[in-house]
Amino acid sequence: MALTIAVLIKQVPDMGTVKIDRATGRPSFGGQQVVSSYDEIAVEEAIRLKEAHGGEVVVLCAGGPSAKDAITRSLAMGADRGVHLALADPNAADTLTVAGVLAAQLRALSPSPDVVLAGQASDDYATGQVGAQVAELLGWPHLSAVTDVAVADGELTVERDTEDGKQVCAVAPPVVLLALTGLNEPRLPSLKGIMAAKRKPVEAVTPPAPPAEDRVNWDDPYVPERGAAGVIVQDVPPAEAAERLVAWLREQRLV
């Protein structure tokens, strides 16, 4: 079964280069912008599904002009086309607003996607809300924390992480899947892929500006005070760990 797969990606600062100024609490981002890591796993999964079953992978990214680099990276990995939704600063808009912009574009896609893939959460603000909100706005089911996807007979078998183990779900398209570490190891784009990416179409869309009341204001960030060092009890049998913990609590006169 050939699949039309849409992938929602976000461009974020490379977390490896982020530094916090301890005096002002302000982060400096080092300039390097990358595809958010769970989103890259989503792109990889979409490409693998296409390679196995045929179809098309469309990448959607809402952001400023540099967001095009994130789309290009996905195209270099093997996605077929991109849609760049001009949104000056996605972090300044409420997550539901961003989800609304993405959902409207997904409704407009032709052919309509069978599967929408996105990362579980973004590397920068990590709210984990947008994917679920998109599903809700589209009226589609969604599965979060996805660690395996198999397609057979027009149905998807999806494995997901839960707090106490794994859950396997059968679901019929259309569906929104949120990718988690363990789903795959994203490929490095080949040099050929990079050269091919510039010939792949990227549609530029300017969505209506989000209403002012939907803007999110962020308080000045600060570096939390370092608290007293904790006590870690590990690598001992549970019974002994419990004894040590109780002894410590008594010592501190906490019990």
Partner 1 sequence: MTTCSMFELTDEQRALRDTIREFAEAEIAPHAAEWDERHVFPTETIRQLGELGAMGVAFPEEYGGLGAGAVAQAVVVEELARIDSSVAVTVGANASIAGEPILLFGTEEQKQRWLVPLARGEHIGAFASTEPGGGSDVRAATTVARREDGCWVLNGAKAFTTNAGTDLSAFCIVTARTEADGGGALSTLIVPTGTPGYEPQKPYRKLGWHASDTRELVFADCRVPDDAVLGPLGKGARVFLTALDGGRIGVAAMSVGLAQGALEQAMAYAKERIAFGAPIARQQAIHFKLADLKTQIEAARLLTYRAAALKEAGQPITEAAAVAKLFASEVAVRAAEENLQIHGGFGYIEESPVPRFYRDAKVLTIGEGTSEILKYVIARQMDLIA
Give contact residues for partner 1 (rule: CB under 8 A).
69, 72-73, 76, 188-192, 194-195, 197-198
Task: Select 192 or 226, whichever has its Cβ closest to partner 1.
Answer: 192
Q: Which is nearer to partner 1, 126 or 195 (CB)?
A: 195
Nearer to partner 1 (CB atom), residue 35 or residue 177: 35
SS3 assignment, position 179: strand
Question: What DSSP designation does 215 have?
Answer: B
Return the DSSP state at 212: G
Q: Which is nearer to partner 1, 5 or 59 (CB)?
A: 59
Closest approach, Cβ 215 to partner 1, in A, equals: 31
Q: 69 vs 148, which CB is nearer to partner 1?
A: 69
Instruction: Tell me the HSE value of 241 on the side-chain side, using a 13 A CA sphere.
Output: 8
**Smallest separation, CB 32 to partner 1 (Å):** 9
Cβ pair 76, 188 in contact under 8 A: no
Comparing CB distances to partner 1, the nearer of 76 and 87 is: 76
Min separation Cβ 79 and partner 1, Å: 15
Token pair for 213: 């009341």
Angle between helical axes of 95-108 and 130-138 (0-180°, round to 10):
50
Q: Are 187 and 44 in contact (CB under 8 A)?
A: yes
For residue 202, the minimal CB distance to partner 1 (Å) is: 13
Instruction: Report the alpha-carbon distance of residue 156 to residue 168 in Å, rounded.
Output: 10
Q: Nearest distance from residue 76's CB to partner 1, in Å?
A: 7
Lookup: tokens for 199: 């010939």
The burial class, CB within 10 Å (0-12 / 13-18 / 19+), for 69 is middle
Smallest distance, Å, CB 60 to partner 1?
20
Determine the Cα–Cα distance for residues 203 and 186; give it in Å rounded to an integer: 24
